[in-house]
Amino acid sequence: MANLVLQHIEKIYDGNVKAVHDFNLDVKDGELIVLVGPSGCGKSTTLRMVAGLEDISAGHLILDGRDITQTPAKDRDMAMVFQNYALYGHMTIYENMAFSLTLRGEDPNVIHKKVLAAADILNLTTQLNKKPNQLSGGQRQRVAMGRTIVRTPKVFLFDEPLSNLDAKLRGSTRREILLLHKRLNATMLYVTHDQTEALTLADRIVCMSMGHVQQVGTPLELYDHPANVFVASFIGLPPMNLFDVTVKGDHLEGKGFKVPLDEKQQKTLKSYVNKEIILGVRPENLVEGTDIPVKVTSNENLGMNTLVHGHISDGNKTFDRITCKLRGWCNYKPGDIAKVSINRMHFFDKETTNSIFGEDK
């Protein structure tokens, strides 16, 4: 049970290279926070600073009201799960899980009870006498988690724990982590570049780019109300379609298409009349209709839906790329013209790239 506060945390490497800029976050007790972003955005660096594996260049890290900015990693009462498991190959699973407690000099009987309890939670009871190389990737990752559980730390830290697993195993291990979080009700910080993991696991997501926090919110907030173009394009699969459009009072005019605006939208965009903005449309918010002609380049049937890729076209010329996620089974061939309409739009200021208003319609 722990409350973790990151106050104005910064990481500056030699040569004045700033990896993390003014990171602020209040992690509530029992909350699972996912740091998500592309490679190099500073999410792992932030996690490592929290763990004590990297020095904090500026700011304060507070755990349960105690400033632990300068506290060594071993005294922070946090446990970390790494991408590569970091298990000892010559030890059995039992010994791996018991190792940190043995080093602490705890009573062997107490260690035994803790290891068995953790193994029970993680379904590893029958594997305890095996060596790590006898287990699958998913089982190994569960052992790595078990090793942290036995320590009963205040905060669990996960650094891309599922990246080494294949897609199927990733899904099942993800569900196990979620169940584990519910069962332990522990404070967890989880780093991933996979937005599916972020959306399915997180109580709140911290979306990062180039060392800056772009948005903090629940998965639904980030999906429905992206704060800026980066978040809009990063969260959601396939990513959001973005078009440069001009506001023309009662409609938007883009290259090769026009979209009508209702009264509420017109009110929102009142100060942008005759100005360019960015229109964001999620592929799943496009339906077969009449507003936008799309010259199809490929048609991917997914069963329940069909992904139609193409370019907006006025019949002669083709313009911006567009991806539509249409309901049902479609059979468009390359060169066909599919007409679609928008049932939900996001607007972004072209200069700042910030959201003008999360959603309209």
Amino acid identity of residue 318, one-letter, is T
**Residues that bind another protein in the complex, under the rule CB under 8 A:** 92, 94-95, 105-109, 112-113, 115, 126, 128-130
Toward another protein, which CB reaches closer, 94 or 156?
94
Toward another protein, which CB reaches closer, 16 or 126?
126
| Smallest separation (angstroms) from another protein to the CB of 153 | 21
* DSSP structure string for 290-352: EEEEEEEEEEEE-SSEEEEEEEEE-SS-EEEEEEEEEES-----TT-EEEEEES-EEEEETTT
**Token representation of residue 160:** 């891309």
Toward another protein, which CB reaches closer, 27 or 93?
93
Toward another protein, which CB reaches closer, 67 or 120?
120
| Smallest separation (angstroms) from another protein to the CB of 190 | 30
| Smallest separation (angstroms) from another protein to the CB of 84 | 25
CA distance 287 to 282: 11
Toward another protein, which CB reaches closer, 94 or 257?
94
Toward another protein, which CB reaches closer, 134 or 196?
134
Toward another protein, which CB reaches closer, 130 or 255?
130
Toward another protein, which CB reaches closer, 84 or 123?
123
**291 burial level (CB within 10 Å; 0-12, 13-18, 19+):** middle
| Smallest separation (angstroms) from another protein to the CB of 73 | 24
**Token representation of residue 17:** 């290279």
Do the Cβ atoms of 149 and 121 come closer than 8 Å?
Answer: yes
CA distance 96 to 132: 9
* DSSP structure string for 78-135: EEEE-TT----TTS-HHHHHHHHHHHHT--HHHHHHHHHHHHHHTT-GGGTTS-GGGS
Question: Quick check: bond before 293 cis, omega within 30?
Answer: no
Do the Cβ atoms of 131 and 92 come closer than 8 Å?
Answer: yes
Count of CB atoms situated within 10 Å of the CB of 243: 21
CA distance 245 to 312: 13
Amino acid identity of residue 254, one-letter, is G
Total residues belonging to the chain: 361
CA distance 136 to 141: 9
| Smallest separation (angstroms) from another protein to the CB of 142 | 17
Toward another protein, which CB reaches closer, 128 or 144?
128
| Smallest separation (angstroms) from another protein to the CB of 88 | 14
Do the Cβ atoms of 68 and 22 come closer than 8 Å?
Answer: no
Toward another protein, which CB reaches closer, 18 or 130?
130
Do the Cβ atoms of 83 and 164 come closer than 8 Å?
Answer: yes
